[in-house]
Structure 1
Amino acid sequence: MIAIIVAAAFSLLFSLTLTPAFIRGFKRLQWGQFIREDGPKSHYSKRGTPTMGGLIFISGSVIAYFVGHLVAGSPPTASGLLVILMTVGLGIVGFIDDFLKTHKQQSLGLGGWAKIFGQVVVAVLFALLAIRFANARGLTPASTSISLFRDLPFEFMQFGLIAGTILFVIWIIVIVTSTSNAVNVTDGLDGLATGASILALSAYVMIGFWQHNEACAIRIEPGCYDVRDPLDLAVIAAALIGGLIGFLWWNTSPAHIYMGDTGSLGLGGAIAALAILTQTELLLLLIGGLFIIETGSVIVQRLYFKVTKGQRIFLMSPIHHHFELKGWAEVTVVVRFWIIAGVLVLAGIALFYGEWVLQQ
């Protein structure tokens, strides 16, 4: 518990106090945001606002994670380090994309397939490492079963070691690329993805803490959880939340800095990793429900456009821009979308707890 508090507090102070220095540095480096010409006209004033802010809260969260363990006198775990690997790995992919955008001053950085390739490489590395490093009870950071509130009967290894491993890796790739791109799509208004990510990560602090208290390693009883290092997953999630809260102070409207793809891809990776390692992969559809809605609006818009040969359902996708173009103030859109995200997260937590109650 001490590690959770220390990690969150240190990360918050890091982002809150050091972001102004990063903003000045980014301005000198001319790491400014590029604004699409076809976007809402109200966004034109944001052109040149420093981006790549993900560097701030990702680095602060990683440092905070180790500081929390140092203060608590506990060693880092394989699970916590895997979340860091995913977050930093996808953050690097996003940084390359952001750097190319700011260098070329155009909306296209890495090509679409190049970005997907980077995400796949990180996801494959994560997947292969996550089924190694078994502890004394034989638990690896990730299981090779599909999970909802805990592992379901479907086990990839029933198809054999090689085929099962390949199928598991593909499953992880789907989760990671979908989640990271969904958070990336949501990051279109001041503070929107930041606030939504805080809410989603809060769910994993609660889930990790609850799984730790009800772990089969402590007491074998109906409803206990066979999850490796759940408390440490809560620590890294809390560190990310602290960093995001501090960052939101500067990222809320009117934003002084944006997280960029560095932050959005890194956050998506962190959320995906936490879902996988807490064995709540399918529950992510609810906990990350706002991200699903945002991505779904883009997919539906493109399909409808192709089928109808040029007609659109929304004035603009992702859907947050649709409401802007309908006349909603940016802050109104952001706060209402936060409310939607919060309701979906609470529903996910309620279902998670309800499943445990039914096991008793």
Structure 2
Amino acid sequence: MVTIVLAAGYAMVVALLGTPLYIKFLVRRGYGQFIRDDGPTSHHTKRGTPTMGGAVILLATLIGYLGAHATMWLIDATGLRDFGGSSMSISGLLVLFLMAGLGLVGFADDYLKISKQRSLGLRSHEKLIGQTLVAVVFAVLALQFPGDAFRTPASTAISFVRDLDLDFAVFGTVGGLIAFVLWANLMIAGASNGVNLTDGLDGLATGASVMVFGGYVLIGIWQFNQNCQITPGPNCYDVRDAHDLAVVAACVAGSCFGFLWWNASPAKIFMGDTGSLALGGALAGLAITTHTQLLMVILGGLFVIITMSVIIQVTSFKLTRKRVFRMAPLQHHFELLGWHEVTIVIRFWIVQGLCVAAGLGIFYAEWVVSL
């Protein structure tokens, strides 16, 4: 627990203090946000606001993770205390790899937008190739490194609160691997694009991310305390490195919390695709390694709702030439209805909070029922 608190604290402080320094650097370089002309007219005042702030979130997360483990190592080395479960794990490192890899893809996209002063950065196929390469490497490695009881960071089974009977292993060793890689790619693409679509108003995606990653901190702690290696039983969790996954989630939540100080309305900096793709990757990575893949849909309910609004809008227009919403994603629909930006953000945060509460409730209820 000490490691988790330290990780969140380090990440928050780095993001809180590091963001204004990064803002000054971006302003000197003239790296400002390009605003689409077909969006809400109120957004035109945001033109030129520094972007690529996701780099701070990513850096703060990595520093928080390494700093917390380094502190625990120093304490253990003194012989004064021995904190169990405080060492780095392959599961945690894989989630951080996925987060950093997608963050780099987003950074390339943001940089092209800024340097060419256009809304299009990487072309859609280029971004897809980058995301796919990172996701495939993550998915393949997640099925390697067997540890205690030959558990790997991920399993080939589809999971909700824990692994279900739907297992890709029925397709054989190679077929199961291919099926799992495709499934993992679908989850990673869905999560990263969901956060990306949500990142349209000041602080909206950042605040929602604090909540969902905070939820994964609680899930990781609970899975660690009820792990099959510690408390074996019919309702234990066969999750490898649950404690370290809680540390990773705490780092992401802490870094988003610190970044939110500068990203809240009126935003002094935007996270850009650098942040949204990285956060989506971290979310999917945690869902896969904690064996809560389908629960992620509930925990990240706001991201799902906003993504569905885009799908509904596009499908309706292609089939009927009519639009369901005044503009998609959903937050812009309410802007055009006359809602103030801060009102939309706060109400959407409430929705996200309810989604996290519902997800955690389902997670705990399943454990109680299985007693």
**What residue in structure 2 maps to residue 355 of structure 1?**
366
1:117 positional shift: 1.2
| Equivalent of residue 123 in structure 2, options 111, 118, 123 | 111
Q: Distance in 2 between matches of 1:75 and 1:230?
A: 12
Q: Distance in 2 between matches of 1:116 and 1:192?
A: 25
Structure 1 alignment gaps of length 5 or more: none
2:318 is aligned with 1:306 = yes
Q: C-alpha offsets along residues 222-251 of structure 1, whole Å, 9 cap, x if unaligned? A: 210000000100001101111111100000
**What residue in structure 2 maps to residue 235 of structure 1?**
247
| Equivalent of residue 338 in structure 1, options 349, 353, 356 | 349
Which amino acid in 1 is paired with 2:151?
L
Which amino acid in 2 is paired with 1:62?
L
Q: Distance in 1 between matches of 2:290 and 2:302?
A: 20
1:172 positional shift: 0.3
Q: Aligned to 2:280, what secondary structure does the other structure show?
A: helix
Q: Distance in 2 between matches of 1:341 and 1:44?
A: 27
2:93 is aligned with 1:81 = yes
**What residue in structure 1 maps to residue 218 of structure 2?**
206
Structure 2 alignment gaps of length 5 or more: 74-85
1:125 positional shift: 0.3
Q: Distance in 1 between matches of 2:102 and 2:180?
A: 20
Q: Aligned to 1:152, what secondary structure does the other structure show?
A: strand
Q: C-alpha offsets along residues 120-149 of structure 1, whole Å, 9 cap, x if unaligned? A: 111100000000111132110001100000
Q: Distance in 1 between matches of 2:345 and 2:231?
A: 43
1:75 positional shift: 2.6
1:288 positional shift: 0.8
Which amino acid in 2 is paired with 1:195?
G
| Equivalent of residue 164 in structure 1, options 167, 172, 176 | 176
1:282-321 aligned within 5 A: 282-309=294-321, 311-321=322-332
**What residue in structure 1 maps to residue 83 of structure 2?**
none
Q: Does the aligned pair in 1 maintain the 2:225–2:231 contact within 8 Å?
A: no
1:1-360 aligned within 5 A: 1-73=1-73, 74-309=86-321, 311-360=322-371
Please give the TM-score of this superposition, normalised by the length of structure 2.
0.96
Q: C-alpha offsets along residues 266-315 of structure 1, whole Å, 9 cap, x if unaligned? A: 00000000000000000111011100111111111011111112x21111
| RMSD between superposed Cα atoms in Å | 0.7
Count, aligned residues:
359
Q: Distance in 1 between matches of 2:132 and 2:235?
A: 34
Q: Distance in 1 between matches of 2:214 and 2:64?
A: 17
Q: Aligned to 1:146, what secondary structure does the other structure show?
A: strand
Please give the TM-score of this superposition, normalised by the length of structure 1.
0.99
1:28 positional shift: 1.4
Deviates more, 1:227-236 or 1:74-83: 74-83
Q: Distance in 2 between matches of 1:134 and 1:173?
A: 22
Q: Does the aligned pair in 1 maintain the 2:239–2:290 contact within 8 Å?
A: yes
Q: C-alpha offsets along residues 173-210 of structure 1, whole Å, 9 cap, x if unaligned? A: 00000110010000000000001111111111010000
Which amino acid in 2 is paired with 1:346?
A
